Every structure is written in C-alpha cells, then in structure tokens.
C-alpha cells in the first residue's frame, strides 16, 4: 500500500489452503503433524489479530474425516476463534444466498447464540467435497456447529452463479467470490461456454476490492487440454486470486497481465506426496486491504516436518561405475 491508511480502514485476512487435517493420523510418528500446523495457523491469526481467516479448500484430508479429526478441528477453532473481541467488519450481502447449504443462513459472528472473535470462511476442496444423496461434506458439520462459514458450494452442473460475500470495514469494501472444487474437465467446459457467472454489487462497483478463491488444477495434468483451469477464464474485475489445490507454496505473487490481477498460491501446510514441490518452505499469509490496494506478509510455518527431495540418476557415470563394482 502506497499511502499510510487509518487503522480503522485496514481489513486484514489470514490466508491458508490445503491443511489436510487428519493426514496419516494413525501414524505413531507423523500422526499429529497436520493438527500441529493447523493449530499454528490459528495461533498466528490470533496473535496478528486479523479480522478473518480465509481457507482455500481441503481443510480435511479425508472425505469422511474420523471423529478424532472433526473433534480436534472443532476444538481448535473454538479455542482460537471464539472470544469477546468484537468483529469490526460489517457484513452487507444477502446471507441466505451466501450460506444456502444449511439451516443456519447467517454469518456466525452475527448469531446471538455464538461468541465469535475471528470468523473463518472456507470453500471445499477435492478431498472434502460434498458427496452422497444429501450432498453434505465435513464443512457442513462445522458450519452447523457454528465454527466456520462454509461458502462456494454450487448445486448445479449446468450453470454456476457466484454471489460474493460483501463486507466493509471503515472505507474499505471487500467482495469475496468462492468456488468449491468441481471436476476440472467439467468446470473448464463451463468456463469456456460462459456458464460461470459472477454477480457484482449494484453500487460503486469500482470501489470494491475483489478476491476470487478457487480450488482446482492450475497447471495441465497429463495429455488432456481441459485438465486444469486457465487463469485467463476468471473474471476480469478480480484483483486477487487465491489458488488452492496446488501444494507447492509460492511466496512471490504472480501478476496476470491479461486479467490485471495478482495470483497467490499458498500451497499446503503439510506434505502429502513425494514431490519436489512439497519441499518448499510452508507459509500462511496475512493480507491487508485498504480500498483498492493491498499488501502481503509471509508467515513461515515452523511446525512443519522437514521434507528433503533428491533425484538420483542411474545413468550417471560415477553411479554406473559403483554399480559395476
């Protein structure tokens, strides 16, 4: 941010994606890793006194998390996100439209039965996506219990209409567009056929800072040309894209010149695959927004188990000589 804004106009968000809580939870050595790092993320949010937490999908590793995973996540969210600190962000959009998946169609910090200090907003990922006859997922359980605000769920496979979460803090106006994970080929086709539409505020459209949270393949997988979502198909008015699903943490913002938007790829908070991208240092991020400007603070995660990756070439001369011996 170029100018020094008034504190009461700065809206701060702690951003994380792909926590994969419950990964290897039965492992006697690594079983607590995902829980420890998720708690560290919440501790950072509490210490930094952010206005909200924004999660980009795959909070849980399993589609049907264990009772231990659900219990520990619920306990941690209540411990760090409930309290007497007033939420200074005004919620402006139609909450019944934003939170249409359950019986309680209100943002949790406006529920008179709850005492929320840091609201948590989350979309679902491909690991914890809705399934079954009722189309429920683990986030629906957390939403019904009042510890998170679950958004970004689409019930249609023919056309997707995304209504933003509209908020205001002082003179800063924020619109958050969320889209939970959908099969990449299907979503790619919907974007190409212009069947994904985003509604915008009726007034002062140019004064809103627009964030799009997505959980999809960002790069091509295999031979299919529709196995990922190109950045360029996203709405042109977006200012910041938060990209979940990709596990390598990229601390440098990418500027998409076509959209004139920045892309932040937070990566996962626990390594779940033997890939080189998982060796990058893990972070969560603090985003501070003032009107149409923002800055980013990288917060290293210190509880992540070190992961080393080394490639051994069997056709290397020295290696071949050792083998021949």
Q: Provide CB contacts within 8 A for 297, sequence distance 6+.
A: 285, 286, 287, 288
Locate 7 and state its tokens.
């504190």
Sign of CA dihedral 241, 244, 245, 246: positive
Provide the 3-class DSSP secondary structure of residue 283. strand
Contact of 270 with 34, CB cutoff 8 Å = yes
Provide the 3-class DSSP secondary structure of residue 67. helix
Say whether 100 is catalytic: no
Of 44, 46, 124, 127, which one is the catalytic site residue? 127
- The span from the CA of 212 to the CA of 244, in Å, is 11
Tell me how far the alpha carbon of residue 30 is from its chain's centroid.
24
Q: Give the total residue count for the chain.
A: 325
- The span from the CA of 99 to the CA of 79, in Å, is 23
Contact of 321 with 51, CB cutoff 8 Å = no
- The span from the CA of 90 to the CA of 236, in Å, is 26
* Residue closest to 269 by CA, chosen among 55, 28, 82: 55
Residue 94 CB neighbour total at 10 angstroms? 12
The residues annotated as belonging to the active site are: 127
């Amino acid at each position: 941010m170029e100018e020094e804004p008034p504190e009461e106009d700065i809206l701060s968000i702690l951003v994380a994606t792909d926590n994969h809580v419950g990964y290897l939870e039965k492992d006697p050595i690594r079983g607590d890793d995902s829980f420890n790092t998720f708690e560290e993320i919440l501790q950072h949010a509490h210490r930094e006194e952010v206005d909200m937490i924004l999660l980009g999908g795959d909070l849980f590793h399993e589609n049907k998390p264990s009772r231990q995973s659900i219990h520990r996540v619920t306990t941690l969210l209540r411990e760090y996100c409930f309290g007497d600190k007033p939420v200074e962000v005004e919620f402006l959009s139609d909450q019944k439209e934003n939170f249409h998946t359950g019986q309680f169609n209100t943002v949790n910090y406006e529920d008179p039965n709850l005492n929320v200090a840091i609201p948590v907003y989350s979309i679902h990922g491909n690991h914890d996506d809705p399934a079954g006859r009722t189309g429920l997922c683990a986030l629906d359980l957390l939403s019904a219990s009042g510890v998170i605000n679950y958004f970004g769920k689409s019930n249609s496979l023919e056309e997707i209409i995304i209504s933003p979460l509209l908020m205001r803090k002082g003179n800063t106006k924020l619109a958050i567009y969320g889209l939970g994970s959908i099969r990449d080929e299907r979503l790619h086709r919907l974007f190409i056929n212009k069947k994904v539409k985003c509604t915008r505020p009726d007034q002062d459209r140019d004064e809103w800072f627009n964030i799009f949270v997505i959980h999809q393949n960002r790069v091509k997988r295999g031979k299919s040309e529709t196995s990922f979502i190109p950045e360029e198909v996203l709405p042109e008015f977006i200012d910041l894209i938060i990209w979940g699903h990709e596990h390598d943490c990229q601390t440098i913002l990418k500027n998409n010149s076509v959209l004139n938007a920045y892309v932040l790829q937070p990566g996962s908070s626990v390594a779940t695959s033997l890939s080189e991208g998982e060796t990058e240092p893990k972070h969560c991020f603090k985003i501070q927004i003032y009107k149409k400007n923002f800055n980013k603070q990288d917060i290293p995660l210190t509880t992540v188990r070190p992961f080393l990756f080394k490639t051994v070439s069997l056709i290397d001369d020295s290696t071949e000589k050792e083998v021949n011996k």
